[in-house]
Structure 1
Amino acid sequence: MSEKKQYSMVVFSNHTKGLEREYLEWYAGQHIHDLLRIPGYVGCKFYELSDKQLSEGEQKYKYMIIWDIETDDIDSVTKEIKRRMDDGSTVFIPAFDSAYFDVTMSPITKYVTSKEIEGKSVEEVLEISELNKFVF
Structure 2
Amino acid sequence: MTKHVFMIITEAPSPEEEEAFEAWYVGQHMPDVLAVPGFTAAQRYRLAPDPDLPGAPMRFLTIYEMECDDRTAVMAEVRRRAGTMQMPLFPGDRKSAPTTIFAEAVTDRLLAPTGE
CA contact (8 A) 2:6 2:103 kept: yes
Provide the rounded CA distance (Å) in 1 between the counterparts of 2:2 and 2:105.
9
Provide the rounded CA distance (Å) in 2 between the counterparts of 1:114 and 1:85.
38
Matched pairs, number: 111
TM-score normalized with structure 2 length: 0.82
Q: Mind listing any 5+ residue stretches in structure 2 that lack a counterpart?
A: none
Structure having greater relative contact order (Cα 8 Å, sep ≥ 6): 2
Residue 23, structure 1, aligned to residue 10, structure 2: no
Residue 89, structure 1, aligned to residue 82, structure 2: no
Per-residue deviation, 1:57? 1.6
Provide the rounded CA distance (Å) in 1 between the counterparts of 2:4 and 2:112.
23
Provide the rounded CA distance (Å) in 2 between the counterparts of 1:63 and 1:96.
17
**Structure that is richer in strand per residue:** 2
CA RMSD of aligned residues (A): 2.2
TM-score normalized with structure 1 length: 0.71
CA contact (8 A) 2:44 2:63 kept: yes
CA contact (8 A) 1:8 1:104 kept: yes
CA contact (8 A) 1:15 1:95 kept: no
Q: Mind listing any 5+ residue stretches in structure 1 that lack a counterpart?
A: 117-136
**Structure that is richer in helix per residue:** 1
Provide the rounded CA distance (Å) in 1 between the counterparts of 2:33 and 2:93.
15
Provide the rounded CA distance (Å) in 2 between the counterparts of 1:113 and 1:30.
31
Provide the rounded CA distance (Å) in 1 between the counterparts of 2:38 and 2:105.
16
Provide the rounded CA distance (Å) in 1 between the counterparts of 2:93 and 2:35.
20
Q: Which one is further off, 70-79 or 39-48?
A: 70-79
Structure 1: which 4+ aligned runs deviate by more than 4 Å? none
Give the percent of matched residue pairs that are identical in Structure 1 and Structure 2: 22
Q: In structure 1, which of residues 51, 56, 64 is the aligned counterpart of residue 52 of structure 2? A: 56
Residue 71, structure 1, aligned to residue 91, structure 2: no
CA contact (8 A) 2:2 2:105 kept: no
Amino acid of the structure 2 residue aligned with 1:76 = A
